[in-house]
């Protein structure tokens, strides 16, 4: 007999993409990290927080600021939103978990389009929530059945993963309006790679929450940093379910420094977008369908009746040659591959290997 709650017993753990051990010689194009380093100001800020000489590490004796004021202040300056409308998380994953904890009772419904970020499902299972999913069409347009769906929380990743697709701002606005007693969570983990964002909806609509991460455009996946933007009331409520010291001192300093160097982020983002364009062109030249991406990854589908087998084969072929990409053995996804946009050199290496695989037939 299990001592776990029945929903925990029944659920599966979230399976993150492979993280090879430090020093492993791989080209890592599987978890949408940034191929470029974080701002030198981030490294300086971490070093300053650590201190040096005889007092090195001294500050680590003390707890970090529970409200990460320095980080939220920097976010407030960067966005123009008041600090009371900003909350910090140990990665945006933690913020998503807080939303479930704060708003969803056992048996309440959450909703999201499918396929999307798998963690929404995991968090819902852990909370004992009912899950309502609505399939995307092949163009990944916002499904009509999400409007007025009656869920407590509706998650929309914009850009979506693994498609990289975005939505018209007006569609998100209307979706928020249609949710009576429901909150629209717009997960903007990849927004810096997109043409537009939805942060303005936070000031317009009391039931809109926007989450962002430092893991992608700020090259800080390893620091575990995320931010949430919402009404003062929502932020105040979420603070009640937050772990007291959810960010450590180094992360707070790093995040604030990253936000204070927008030129660095913008320059890296430009490089990633240029490489994305090269990758898309090369995949088209190989005759493959590519979902139009506004993110730092690209989803491409293999043709024919054996597409799923071929896609899985490509994943394995590349892995054996030290190139990691993402294959999802799941409905509506198993005919495709998601490739993170790396450096030009990494993408060239991927393309060379992938071409070889396709030529083998």
Q: Does 175 engage in binding with ligand PLP (CB under 6 A)?
A: no
Residue number, 115 or 226, with CB nearest to ligand PLP: 226
Residue of 189, 228, 235, 247 interacting with ligand PLP (CB under 6 A): 189
Residue number, 257 or 353, with CB nearest to ligand PLP: 257
Instruction: Give residues 37-96 in contact with ligand PLP (rule: CB under 6 A).
Output: 91-93
Q: From CA 334, how far away is CA 312, in angstroms rounded? A: 8
Q: Does 161 engage in binding with ligand PLP (CB under 6 A)?
A: yes
Number of shown-chain residues binding ligand PLP (CB under 6 A): 13
Residue of 108, 187, 192, 346 interacting with ligand PLP (CB under 6 A): 187
Considering the complex, what minimum distance in angstroms separates the CB of residue 123 from ligand PLP?
11
Q: From CA 13, how far away is CA 118, in angstroms rounded? A: 11
| CB distance 38 to 146 below 8 Å | no
Distance of CA 88 to the CA centre of its chain: 15
Per-residue burial over 176-212, b = 16 or more CB atoms within 10 Å of its CB, e = otherwise: beebeebbbbbbbbbbbbbeebbbebbeebebbbbbb
Considering the complex, what minimum distance in angstroms separates the CB of residue 303 from ligand PLP?
26
| Alpha-carbon torsion, ordered 67, 72, 73, 76, to 10 deg | -140
Neighbouring-strand partners of residue 156: 186
Residue number, 32 or 219, with CB nearest to ligand PLP: 32
Residue number, 117 or 299, with CB nearest to ligand PLP: 117
119-127 helix and 92-103 helix, angle to the nearest 10 degrees: 30
User: Which residue number places its CB atom closest to ligand PLP?
Assistant: 91
At residue 186, φ and ψ (nearest 5 deg) are -100, 110
Q: Does 221 engage in binding with ligand PLP (CB under 6 A)?
A: yes
**Site residues for ligand PLP per CB under 6 A:** 32, 91-93, 117, 157, 161, 187, 189, 213, 215, 221, 226
């Amino acid at each position: 007999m299990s001592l776990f709650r029945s929903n925990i017993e029944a659920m599966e753990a979230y399976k993150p993409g492979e993280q090879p051990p430090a020093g492993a010689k791989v080209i890592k194009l599987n978890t949408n990290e940034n191929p470029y380093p974080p701002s030198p100001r981030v490294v300086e800020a971490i070093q300053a927080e650590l201190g040096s000489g005889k007092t090195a590490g001294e500050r680590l004796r003390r707890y970090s600021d529970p409200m990460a004021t320095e980080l939220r202040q920097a976010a407030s300056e960067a966005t123009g939103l008041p600090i009371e409308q900003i909350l910090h998380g140990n990665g945006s994953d933690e913020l998503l978990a807080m939303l479930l904890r704060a708003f969803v009772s056992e048996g309440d419904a959450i909703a999201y389009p499918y396929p999307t970020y798998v963690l929404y499902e995991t968090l819902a299972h852990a909370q004992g929530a009912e899950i309502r999913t609505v399939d995307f069409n092949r163009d990944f347009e916002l499904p009509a059945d999400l409007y007025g769906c009656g869920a407590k929380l509706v998650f929309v990743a914009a850009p979506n993963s693994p498609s990289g697709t975005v939505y018209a701002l007006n569609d998100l606005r209307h979706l928020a309006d249609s949710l009576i007693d429901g909150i629209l969570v717009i997960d903007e983990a990849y927004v810096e790679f997109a043409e537009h964002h939805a942060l303005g909806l936070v000031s317009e609509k009391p039931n809109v929450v926007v989450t962002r991460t430092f893991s992608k455009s700020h090259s800080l996946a390893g620091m575990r940093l995320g931010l949430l933007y919402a009404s003062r009331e929502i932020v105040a409520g979420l603070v009640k379910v937050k772990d007291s010291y959810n960010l450590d001192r180094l992360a707070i300093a790093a995040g604030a420094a990253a936000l204070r160097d927008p030129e660095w982020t913008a320059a890296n983002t430009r490089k990633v977008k240029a490489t994305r364009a090269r990758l898309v062109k090369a995949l088209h030249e190989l005759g493959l369908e590519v979902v139009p991406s506004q993110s730092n990854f690209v989803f491409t589908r293999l043709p024919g009746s054996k597409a799923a087998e071929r896609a899985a084969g490509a994943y394995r072929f590349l892995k054996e040659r030290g190139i990691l990409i993402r294959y999802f053995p799941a409905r509506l996804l198993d005919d495709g591959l998601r490739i993170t946009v790396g450096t030009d050199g990494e993408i060239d290496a991927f393309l060379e290997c992938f071409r070889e695989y396709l030529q083998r037939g």
